[in-house]
Amino acid sequence: MDRASFERFYERRAPALRSYLRYSCRNRALADDLLQETWLRLLCADLPELEEPELKSYLYKTARSVMIDHFRKTAREQRFVDDDRFDAALESGAGAAQPDFALPDDVRRVLAELPERDRQLLWLAHVEGFSHREIAPLIGVQENSVRVLLLRARERMAALLEDQGMGPEDTG
Amino acid sequence: MTDKTTVSEARVTAFMGRVAAACGRSEPAPDPALIWLKAELARRMEGEKRALRAELPGLGLGAAALVLTLLVSIRWLAPIAVGLGDAAVLAGLPLALAAPLVWFFGFRPLRHAR
């Protein structure tokens, strides 16, 4: 990929990717670091010429593996910390990924009730507009399962929105 | 698709749109120049490493050297163990002899003197 085509692709995709990373790790600074790492990996990968939809799919796959690597590394580092100090840090909330940007309370309540996979599925399908085929490798399931999982996730979220008393006029 | 499903799907889409806006989806991304520069440096370093490896093919024999070292270690393990055992015996022998002598000529007369 030459510089001009990289910059064009970046301009189109980076804001969306950054919001996906913020949504997934709920930390603004960390999301920015992971965003940079994702693009670096993409640029250093020995890729054949890809069309934009394939490249977009590859970009999100890379972002997900960068995130997983980061959380694995963090977990490994925490194992080296003395247990007492680790417990104290947990109590005080230090070192945990605290949300540093404000999601409205009602939104946070709904998202907190959903399992991680549902949150990912709903973002990829409803915000990014990925097809079932594109979502499948991203969350590690078969293409056929995506339809069922997505339907259930959507039902769960609709029920939560109903419970929270959020009608169509509140969600939009 | 039933009407109810369509309504809940539309509601979920609207809600996720609100979440995306709160996550800064419309904010401009940081300048890509730094990322391009970093990637350029990483690619150049990788290229230089590859060139160095091509110039020094002997460095590729790391695995063979490791196996050879292992074999030599195993070959010498037995003589080294025997040598260490002998050394231990030789070093321990004077002590083993000295201990009864010290007791016989040192502590025993003192006990009898009391």
pLDDT above 70: percentage of residues in chain B: 89
pLDDT at site B81 = 86
Task: Report ipTM (2 d.p.).
Answer: 0.74
Chains A and B: how many Cβ contacts under 8 Å?
111
Last residue within a domain, chosen from A48, A80, A101: A101
User: For residue A151, how many other CB atoms are within 10 A of its CB?
Assistant: 13
pLDDT in tens, A46-56: 888 888 888 99
Last residue within a domain, chosen from A74, A101, A128: A101
Is there a single domain that holds both residue A73 and residue A125? no
Is there a single domain that holds both residue A10 and residue A21? yes
Does position A90 have pLDDT exceeding 50, yes or no? no
Does position A108 have pLDDT exceeding 70, yes or no? yes
Residues 6 or more apart whose Cβ sits within 8 Å of residue B105: none
Does position B9 have pLDDT exceeding 60, yes or no? yes
Q: What CATH code is carried by the domain that includes residue A169?
A: 1.10.10.10
Widest CA span in chain A: 52
pLDDT above 90: percentage of residues in chain B: 4
Is there a single domain that holds both residue A19 and residue A82? yes
The stretch B99-113 carries a mean pLDDT of 83
pLDDT at site A136 = 92
Picking from A1, A2, A12, A22 by the largest number of B CB atoms within 10 A of its own CB, the best residue to mutate is: A22
Is there a single domain that holds both residue A28 and residue A56? yes
pLDDT in tens, B64-87: 778 888 888 888 888 888 888 888
Q: Which two tokens stand for residue A115?
A: 């399992």
Is there a single domain that holds both residue A79 and residue A5? yes
The b-or-e profile of A85-107 (16+ CB within 10 A means b, else e) is eeeeeeeeeeeeeeeeeebeebb
pLDDT at site A170 = 55
Last residue within a domain, chosen from A101, A133, A160: A101
Q: What is the DSSP string of A75-99?
A: HHHHHTS-HHHHHHHHHHTTTS---
The domain locations on chain B are 1-29, 31-113
CB contact under 8 A, B16 and A122: yes
Q: Which domain holds residue A89?
A: 1-101
* Full-model pTM: 0.67
B92's torsion region: left (phi>0), alpha (psi -120 to 50) or beta? alpha
In the structure, what pLDDT confidence band is assigned to residue B112 with cuts at 50, 70 and 90?
A: confident
Does position A157 have pLDDT exceeding 60, yes or no? yes
Please state which of the ranges A14-23, A79-88, B15-24 shows the lowest mean pLDDT: A79-88
Q: What CATH code is carried by the domain that includes residue A61?
A: 1.10.1740
Does position A83 have pLDDT exceeding 60, yes or no? no
pLDDT above 90: percentage of residues in chain A: 41
CB contact under 8 A, B12 and A126: yes
Residues 6 or more apart whose Cβ sits within 8 Å of residue B43: A43, A44
CA distance A90 to chain B (A): 26
Does position A89 have pLDDT exceeding 60, yes or no? no
Which of A91-95, A106-110, A115-119 is the most confident on average? A115-119
pLDDT at site B60 = 55
Is there a single domain that holds both residue A89 and residue A14? yes
The number of distinct structural domains making up chain A is 2
Q: Name the residue of chain B whose CA is nearest to A9's CA.
A: B32
In the structure, what pLDDT confidence band is assigned to residue B3 with cuts at 50, 70 and 90?
A: low
In the structure, what pLDDT confidence band is assigned to residue A88 with cuts at 50, 70 and 90?
A: low
pLDDT at site A96 = 44
Is there a single domain that holds both residue A84 and residue A5? yes
pLDDT in tens, B44-55: 988 888 888 777
Picking from B3, B26, B35 by the largest number of A CB atoms within 10 A of its own CB, the best residue to mutate is: B35
Does position B62 have pLDDT exceeding 80, yes or no? no
CA distance A147 to chain B (A): 13
CA distance A154 to chain B (A): 7
pLDDT in tens, A15-34: 999 999 998 888 888 999 99
In the structure, what pLDDT confidence band is assigned to residue A95 with cuts at 50, 70 and 90?
A: very low
